Amino acid sequence: MDATQYQLGRRCHVARGLRGLSTSFLVFGLSTVIITTLLVQLLSQDPISSTDMMHKALSSVGNLTAVILAVLGISHALNTPEPLENDSFEIDLSWYPPKSSPITNLTTVLNSTGVWGFIFNTSHTPDSQYGTYNWCNMPHVRAKEYPKPPSEYELLYVEVIHRHHLRTPYSSNSFPIEPTPWNCDDIALYSYSSPLPPGSPPSIPGYYSPFTSPLNPFSPSPSGLQGSCQFPQITTQGLSDSYQHGRDLLSVYSPLITLESAEFHVTNNPITTQVAGALISALLPLPNNTPIPLLVQNRETDPLEPKYPCPLARELFSQIHSTPQWTFHLSLAKDLFSQLDSISGVPPADAGFHASFDHYYDNLSAKQCHGRELPCSVGNNNNNSSSKRKCITQPLANAVYRLGQWEYHHTHRGTHQSLQASVASYGVHIAELLSHITSAVNIDTKVRYRHNIAHDGSISRLLAILQTDEMHWPGMGSEVVFEVFTLSTQHFVRILYGGQVLTSSSPMLKGNEQGMIPLRQVTGYLGGLIGYREENGKIIHDIKQLCNTPATK
């Protein structure tokens, strides 16, 4: 894909701006001539005639302006929202770098002390600070902060994708010895099958009740995460956040959300289904025995997570993690890794913990979001001397969080390979999104609200494709919303991230003051990236071919 061929796409905006400027001078000049002529005549008129003539003058100026605008094809009222439709524009598929920020500056990342005001120790963000990055519970659409569009725009369709909410750590992110267990005795994890045809024998909902038999001599693990929770599992706090997330979305999109018009999609990871149960109970308050289908694709090819095989994406992400910047940041972080290893007991040779800060980040943030203390070393417990114990301090944890933020930025927005890697690995979901939007605009579907529950890898790839101007590691509950509007005969898309209009570095995704982007500009960009098109009445795209294309450096 040669990006240079798309650079002409921005010239049409310059031409249109010059035309508008010329029109303004023309209207001003002719109006001045009329007013000057009439004012000369006013000097010889009585007051009543002068007043009448003034009305005629103003009327003439207005009529003249309307005629000129009509001739030029721009006769919209001044206070009507600019439609932004353009008869000719070039599709620009280039990668555009994000803006510079403290997260992008490795020197700042390594030498700072805090985490830029980000929140890591509670799901609750005070209303006065709402919109602040909160890893434990990210800001999302809710009525109080919702950027209301002008009343002239009619909302046709909404599609939401968000990361699951608070959970326990993954077992792979466990320290060798975790002295404090994670118990989830206040949650029932259901697992049962029930026949759908009417008249079939009923099934009783059954849930897991973990226990350890005193007669079982085999420990599930000699060390690491212990307790009655699954690793991972959505916690009670995560379920509460999921329910509130649903209530907040309902406060804005309630006209579109009914049992007949809403559709829900999860991944094969059970934590997304756990979130769906709490979220949907808020979005669709129905009797407890009302079954709600959760769409899920094959675990080996699921595009929402994503899971489908894509050698090109794998190779491009490998290239990104082999760049001099990536290697340099790991070398500079050796001392930090050494301090963390000595406290956590993680072996320095453990590749998973030292290829990035992902494992340490997940372990520490999960503890802090749930109000747990940062861990201390446990190797000297036999000495019964707490003075010899070393603990991970908040400054150490903050350093992990800052470096994790830098890593996600570098992986998904910091290099030109990041766009193609994300397009290849998430392009199938983009094709599904385009299909949904097209169906909604053509009024050939009853579905007006779709909700996808996914993961940080899902959101980060989507943000890479949308070329967000400022990339963060998507925290718990991170949300991207696609809104489709109609204005007269035209259609527009508005993209929200964190409850506000997303700011993109790509000129293709820049809208007007309300964030409205012409539909065909959005579909042209996203469709162009994945080769989305219709052939012989069938929608196709090029992602499978792209995934099997050899990577170039």
User: Contact at 8 Å (CB) between 341 and 348?
Assistant: yes
3-state DSSP call for residue 51? helix
Q: Is the pLDDT of residue 415 over 80?
A: yes
Give residue 379's pLDDT: 63
**Distance from C-alpha of 210 to C-alpha of 185, rounded to nearest angstrom:** 8
- Report, as an integer, the average pLDDT of 249-261: 97
**Distance from C-alpha of 246 to C-alpha of 281, rounded to nearest angstrom:** 8
**Distance from C-alpha of 322 to C-alpha of 357, rounded to nearest angstrom:** 15
User: Contact at 8 Å (CB) between 408 and 317?
Assistant: no
User: pLDDT confidence of 285, banded at 50, 70, 90?
Assistant: confident
Choose the weakest-confidence range: 18-32, 130-144, 518-532: 18-32
Q: What are the tens digits of pLDDT across the range 417-439?
A: 999 999 999 999 999 999 999 99
Helices 394-412, 324-332: axis angle to 10 degrees equals 170
3-state DSSP call for residue 217? coil
pTM for this prediction: 0.84
User: pLDDT confidence of 552, banded at 50, 70, 90?
Assistant: confident
Choose the weakest-confidence range: 232-241, 275-284, 386-395: 386-395
Give residue 290's pLDDT: 84
Q: Label residue 264 exposed, middle or buried (CB < 10 Å: 0-12, 13-18, 19+).
A: buried
H helical segments located in 287-333: 311-320, 324-332
3-state DSSP call for residue 129? helix
Give residue 378's pLDDT: 80
Take residue 450 and report the two structure tokens written for it.
Answer: 């779709």
User: pLDDT confidence of 87, banded at 50, 70, 90?
Assistant: low
User: pLDDT confidence of 179, banded at 50, 70, 90?
Assistant: confident
What percentage of residues in the chain have a pLDDT greater than 90? 74
**Distance from C-alpha of 485 to C-alpha of 508, rounded to nearest angstrom:** 18
Q: Which residues contact 102 (CB under 8 A, 6 or more apart)?
A: 108, 109, 112, 116
Q: What are the tens digits of pLDDT across the range 203-221?
A: 998 999 888 889 998 877 6
User: pLDDT confidence of 444, banded at 50, 70, 90?
Assistant: confident
Q: Is the pLDDT of residue 70 over 60?
A: no
Give residue 387's pLDDT: 56
Only one residue has tokens 């894509």, namely: 310
Q: Label residue 112 exposed, middle or buried (CB < 10 Å: 0-12, 13-18, 19+).
A: middle
Choose the weakest-confidence range: 12-16, 20-24, 174-178, 246-250: 12-16
User: pLDDT confidence of 119, banded at 50, 70, 90?
Assistant: very high
Instruction: Please report which helix (H) or strand (E) contains residue 190, including its range.
Output: strand 189-190
Q: How far is CA 385 from CA 375, 379, 389, 448, 487, in A?
A: 16, 11, 7, 62, 71
User: pLDDT confidence of 544, banded at 50, 70, 90?
Assistant: very high
Question: What would the DSSP string read from start to end of 350-405?
Answer: -HHHHSSSHHHHHHHHHHHHTTPPPPB--TTGGGT-GGG--B--HHHHHHHHHHHH
Q: How far is CA 64 from CA 27, 54, 82, in A?
A: 8, 15, 22
Report the mean per-residue pLDDT for the chain: 86
**Distance from C-alpha of 279 to C-alpha of 339, rounded to nearest angstrom:** 40
User: pLDDT confidence of 222, banded at 50, 70, 90?
Assistant: low
Question: What would the DSSP string read from start to end of 395-460?
Answer: HHHHHHHHHHHHHHHHHHTSSTHHHHHHHHHHHHHHHHHHHHHHHHHTT--S--EEEEEE-HHHHH
